[in-house]
Amino acid sequence: MREWVASLMQLGVSEADARAYVGAPPPPPAEFGVWPENWPAVQVFMAMQTQWRRNAMTGRREGLIYEALDRVMRWCGVAPEAEADCFSRVGVMERTALGVWAGRGR
């Protein structure tokens, strides 16, 4: 879908019109708010962006590689007493991301 939007834009069609034509959702906002209690988990999730386990046959993401998570939490400064809460919040983001990708056929 992204390729179709890009191709239409190369032909002079505005991004909004190209997205509407191919049924693509609008781009996400460049900025968004994060509640303070979620900020450590967002930092950990972003730091884990290269730690996705992929299916060898399809290449689809299957979930985070949890072996790296404890080290990443330490690098991000998550206090030991907050690790369980952070783990839970990262899991919510992981499941949400997997659901979005599954909906897009990735």
What is d(CA 82, CA 16) in angstroms, rounded to the nearest whole number? 42
- Domain boundaries defined on the chain: 1-32, 34-106
CA–CA separation, 51 and 64 (whole Å): 6
What pLDDT, on a 0 to 100 scale, did the predictor assign at position 68?
Answer: 94
CB–CB of 45/69 below 8 Å? no
pLDDT, one tens digit for every residue, the chain (106 residues): 577 778 888 888 888 887 777 776 767 777 888 999 999 999 999 999 999 999 999 888 999 999 999 999 999 999 999 999 999 999 999 999 999 888 864 4
Its pTM surpasses 0.75: no
